[in-house]
Structures are given as structure tokens and as C-alpha cells.
Chains A and B, each alone.
Chain A
């Protein structure tokens, strides 16, 4: 049943790996966004951020749920979220960056949303039906996230002198973490070859365009493409992830076997 819709020549472990990557991105970014709860600069922002976090946690349930199914070892989405250690996490480094000020949080969201939007748009046409179904379900949410983060980046970039300065600083700071989104490996190649996912490199042109448009409207200057950090997609993270996991997983680790 679990593999009924899969083509026999598709490597199950590659598929599992991809599902962890996309699920972990949603989980870790959802976690970061939820840290703002009650502390946002306006009540409307508190509400909007909670909404974004809620969407991302819902997406985590779908992706990691499917990951467990594909793996076929009886692990649930919760097992995967709560009982893996840092080296087993596959999110990109960008989403584990600390929130910083509100401008940095919004910029991180925008850079991610633009990519997430393109990825899901492509995944709607995935040859693997269960992936296409989840992409279909979540694409609308992510389109909304992108509209919102894009709009705020533009308004704050082209706002006051201080908001401009902060947004530029956020952009410069986060830019070296954007390259990881577009670097493929053998897992990507296998899945892209089977028509299951888009090749990561193929999303770069669209992303560049979305980002360039927004940046020109925002009067912000696109940083030069220098050194790009990477590692998250193969389990090599920054020191921040360990702290995220120690909070996220506290109860499951402290009370093994308890049902909540």
C-alpha cells in the first residue's frame, strides 16, 4: 500500500531523504517563527506570524507523515520530528538562523518563501502522486506567505531611513545562506530524473527574478554572490540547531513512551 503509487525504479531512500528535507524546512522555520508569539511589533503581526507558523507546522505533519510512510519502519511524523538528533535533520541552514530583529525575520521569510513557492509550484506536477497532492494542498498557503513577506520587505525597504538600513543589513546577513537552496546532489538528480522533483538548479532563474523585482521596488541592493554556506541538507548544521531541538524535543525526551 505504502509504495503502490511509486515507480519501482525510484530509490525509496532518496525519496525519504527528500521528504525529510522539505519537512524539516517547514518544522524548523515554523519553530523559529513561533518564537515571536506575543512579542511582535504589532498585534496584526502577532496574528499573521502565528498563522504562518501554524501553516508550516501543518505542512510538517504532511511531509514527515509521508516520509515515515515511505521509510516503512513505522515512524510517525512525531517520531521523526521529536526523536532524531541534529545530524539526522535535513533542513537548509537559512531556516535555523536566529530571528534577529523583526526585519531579519521578515527577510528570512521572504528569501525562503520565494523559493518554497517555486518548489511547490513545480511539485504540483510531480510524478509521485502523494507529493503532488501535498503540494497542491500547501501551495495556496505558501503563495500567501510570499505575498505577505514580499509586501513587507518592499514597504520596509522603501520606508524610513532606519527601516531601510535594517532591511539591507538583514539581506546582507542572510544572503550567504541562500545558495544552499539551488545546489543539487545525487539524491536530487535521481528524483529529478524520475520526474518527482524539480532539479534544484532549475529554480534559480525564477527565484532570481522574484527577488530582483522585490529588491528593486524596495530600493534595497542585492548583495554580490560570494561564498555560500551549506551543509544542512546532508545533516551538517550550525550550532543553533542543537538548541532548537533541545527545546522542541524536551518533553518527548524527558518522558519516553508518554502519550500526549
Chain B
């Protein structure tokens, strides 16, 4: 997911009877499906977990501009270029809504950037993989936006109002992206053999990293149980991964592609696919900074920020001058 392995505070989930009155009132509102708004009392752990989750999600949106932005200048037609530009612009917009949602919890965007740049805050593992051919752009729309939707649709019902509302807007655009990605691949697999080979190669490289987006199995994790009690997570990672595989495999077949998993097969009894285990060692390596593009992605963001300092300072200086003038004029 865009937010992977988000830690909660505390070691176990407490029952209503163990809670102080205001915490109990809070939990009862959450249980009743009511939205929590920024000015209300909330447990410290709830606030901190949300900040981690939302900022990680926001960082993923903006780092996610890089792998796709890599192909804007090489898009094969003017229409594909326009579609890709619009998509990358949407992702930056998602980053913006999400930073705003996180700011309602008492952290500033600059602080969140600082955490990203220092490596303290994470972003989704998926954006540390390279985009090597044009088919990767279609594959990202289809698989990566597809996996993001799996996780984000339930987040529209998340207990924290600003996050839930941001998700409503974002989900609409993500499904659009997914359809456009699929459409681009559809066109390619109907094209010349070299195009179809390019699409198969993209699926071979993006399939497993996409499954890793949901994070390792978390059924037993205390973080996950607490997040579910707070309704900032609705489904386990395995549930979402299963749903994603069940939805995506028929689409791959429709495209005439082979999913690179020898263990993949339909299980009539469970009404879903059985599939192989992602390489979790690779996943933890990517999370730890050893993915193929970690250093490049982070450096690109840091450099953009550092190189832009004079620009931001210049605008601030201008605003201060203007303010001083208008004071003097009064």
C-alpha cells in the first residue's frame, strides 16, 4: 500500500472498560461510525498513527511522480503525453490534499518534508523500482494504482474526517488512472509483437512488487489490530492482497499475458486464486533503502527541495516587503 507497516503506539488494544471517560467517549463515537474532526479530543496514539499513515501516503504520492515523470518526455504520442502529464499532476494534487489532511493533526508540511528527507518517514516500496520501458507506465496505472485503490476505497470510511474526505476525491482519480493504464496496455498488446513483448516484460517486473505493496501478513500484528479498532485500517494486508490478485489475474488473461507466478491457480473451494509468496527479503531490503532506486528517488526529492530554497525564500522576502509597505501606508 501507499502506507505500509504503519506502527501504532501501545502494546495491546484496551477494552472500553479500561478506558478513561474521554477516551471511552471517543472510542464509542468511532464504534458508532461517526467521524472524528480535527478540533476534537483524540488519543495521542491515534493522532500519531494517523500522522505517520497520512504523511507516508502523501510522500508516496509525490515520490510517485518520479518514476512516471521519467517517461513524460518520451511518451509515444501527444495524446499519451497529455494523459501522463495529467496523471502525474493528479498525483501531486493527491500529495497536496494529504499533506493538508495531516496538517489538521498539528504537523506542518515542512516538518513532514524534513522527515522524508532525513529518511525518518517512509514512502511506498513500489516507487523504488525503475520505469525501464513505456509499458511500465501502463503497468503502473493498471497494477500500482489498482493496488492503491484496493486499500483506499475502504479508507473512504476511515474514522478521521479529513482523511476520509481526501480519500473520496482521490479514489475517483485513481480509478481513472487505472483504466487509462489498462487501456494503454490493451492498445500495445494488440500492436506489433515487440509491443506485446514489452508489456509482458513490464508485468514480469511489476507483478511481485505490486503484491508487496500490501505489506507482509499482519493478521497477528498489534499495530494492525489497534488501527482496526480505531477504524483507520479496515482490512488485513492478506485480505487486500487476495482481492487484488482475484481482480487482476482475469485482467492479465484478457490482455493475453502470463502472470509470472508458477503457483498461481484458481481455487474453486475458496472462490479465489492461490498464489505464491512474494520475496519478503527483497521487500525488507527495499524498505531498508536497498531497492534499485531508493537513493535516486530520495536524492531527487532532496535536491528539488534544496535547489528550490532560494525560490521559496524569495517569495517570502517579497511577501514581507509587501506587508511592510501596507503597514507603512496605513
Question: In the bound complex, do residue B313 and residue A38 qualify as a contact, i.e. CB atoms below 8 Å apart?
Answer: no
- Complex Cα distance A38/B95, Å? 11
In the complex, which of the residues B89, B187, B311, B316 contacts A51, with contact meaning CB atoms closer than 8 Å? B89
Instruction: Check A259 for interface membership: any CB of B closer than 8 A.
Output: yes
The reply to whether the CB of A221 lies closer than 8 angstroms to some CB of chain B is no
Within 8 A of A (CB), among B38-91: 62, 65-66, 69, 72-82, 85-86, 88-89
Chain A positions within 8 Å of B305 at CB level: 41
Contact pick for A158, options B192, B303, B321, CB 8 Å: B321
A57: B residues at CB distance < 8 A: 78, 81-82, 85
Q: CB-CB < 8 A to A178: which residues of B?
A: none
The answer for the CA separation of A10 and B289 in the assembled complex, in Å, is 63
Does any Cβ of B come within 8 Å of A103's Cβ?
yes
In the complex, whether A166 has a CB less than 8 A from a CB of chain B is yes
Q: Which residues of A contact B190 (CB under 8 A)?
A: 259
Interface residues of B in 307-321 (CB under 8 A from A): 307-319, 321
CB-based contact A54/B317 at 8 Å: no
Within the assembled complex, what's the spacing in Å between the Cα atoms of A137 and B310? 36
Task: Answer yes or no: B93 CB below 8 A from chain A CBs.
Answer: yes
Minimal beta-carbon separation of A63 from chain B (angstroms)? 11
Contact B73 A159 (CB under 8 A): no
Instruction: Kindly supply a per-residue 1/0 record for chain B positions 237-248, scoring 1 wherever the CB is within 8 Å of any chain A CB and 0 otherwise.
Output: 000000000000
Chain A residue numbers with a CB within 8 Å of B321 are 158-159
Pairwise interchain contact A248-B73, C-beta atoms closer than 8 A = yes
B324 is an interface residue with CB less than 8 A from chain A: no
Residues in A with CB closer than 8 Å to B88 are: 37-38, 50
Chain A residue contacts of B315, Cβ below 8 A: 155-156, 159, 163
Chain A residues near B304: list those with CB within 8 A. Answer: 38-41
User: CB of B107 within 8 A of chain A?
Assistant: no
Complex CA–CA separation, A62 to B306 (angstroms): 38
* Chain B interface extent, by class: 35 or more
Interface size class of A (residues with CB under 8 A): 35 or more
Q: Determine the chain B residues whose CB is within 8 A of the CB of A82 once the complex forms.
A: 76-77
| A46:B65 contact, CB within 8 angstroms | yes
B310 contacts which chain A residues (CB < 8 A)? 103, 160, 162-163, 166
Complex formed: what's the CA distance from A47 to B316 in Å? 20
Specify which chain A residues have a CB less than 8 angstroms from the CB of B80 in the assembled complex: 260
Secondary structure of the A contact surface, majority rule: helix
Is A255 touching B308 in the complex (CB atoms < 8 A)? no
B323 within 8 A of A: no
B308 touches A247 (CB 8 A): no
CB of A142 within 8 Å of the partner chain: no
* CB–CB A41/B85 < 8 A: no
B115 interface residue (CB < 8 Å to A): no
- Is B311's CB under 8 angstroms from A37's CB? no
Flag if A159 contacts B317 (CB, 8 Å): yes
Encoded as 1 (CB less than 8 Å from any A CB) or 0, chain B from 271 to 290 comes to 00000000000000000000
- Per-residue contact bits, chain A 229-248, to B (CB 8 Å; 1 contact, 0 not): 00000000000000000011
A101 to B310, CA, bound (A): 10
A35-81 interface (Cβ within 8 A of B): 35, 37-47, 50-51, 53-54, 57-58, 60-61, 64, 77-78, 81
Contacts of A259 in B (CB 8 A): 187, 190-191
Q: Which residues of A contact B313 (CB under 8 A)?
A: 159-160, 162-163
* Chain B residues closer than 8 Å to A162, beta-carbon distance: 310, 313-314
Choose from A38, A39, A163 the contact partner of B314 (Cβ within 8 Å): A163
Do A257 and B192 have beta carbons less than 8 Å apart?
A: yes
- Find out whether the CB atom of B184 lies under 8 angstroms from the CB atom of A260: yes
Q: Is the CB of A42 within 8 A of B62?
A: no
Report the Cα distance A34→B55, complex, angstroms. Answer: 26
Interface string of A154-176 (1 = CB under 8 A from B): 01101110111010000000000
In the bound complex, do residue A258 and residue B191 qualify as a contact, i.e. CB atoms below 8 Å apart? yes
Nearest CB of B to A65, in Å: 9
Shortest distance from the beta carbon of A116 to any chain B beta carbon, whole Å: 19
Given A158-B321, A159-B314: A251 in contact with B85 (beta carbons within 8 A):
no
**Of residues B99, B300, B317, B321, which shows the largest number of chain A Cβ atoms within 10 Å of its Cβ?**
B317
The docked-state distance in angstroms from the alpha carbon of A156 to that of B315 is: 6
**Is B259 an interface position by the 8 A CB rule?**
no
Can you list 23 A-B contacts with CB-CB less than 8 angstroms, sorted by A residue number?
A34-B73, A37-B65, A37-B88, A38-B69, A38-B304, A41-B304, A41-B308, A41-B311, A42-B312, A45-B308, A45-B311, A50-B85, A54-B89, A61-B78, A61-B79, A78-B79, A82-B77, A163-B315, A163-B317, A163-B318, A255-B194, A255-B195, A259-B191
Residue numbers of B with Cβ under 8 A of A are: 62, 65-66, 69, 72-82, 85-86, 88-89, 92-93, 95-96, 99, 134, 184, 187-188, 190-192, 194-195, 300, 303-305, 307-319, 321
Chain A interface (Cβ within 8 Å of chain B)?
27, 31, 34-35, 37-47, 50-51, 53-54, 57-58, 60-61, 64, 77-78, 81-82, 101-103, 155-156, 158-160, 162-164, 166, 247-248, 250-252, 255, 257-260
Given contacts A45-B308, A156-B314, A160-B316, 19 further A-B contacts (CB under 8 A): A27-B78, A35-B72, A38-B69, A38-B88, A39-B69, A41-B304, A42-B311, A46-B89, A46-B92, A50-B86, A54-B85, A102-B311, A155-B314, A156-B315, A156-B318, A162-B310, A163-B313, A164-B314, A260-B77
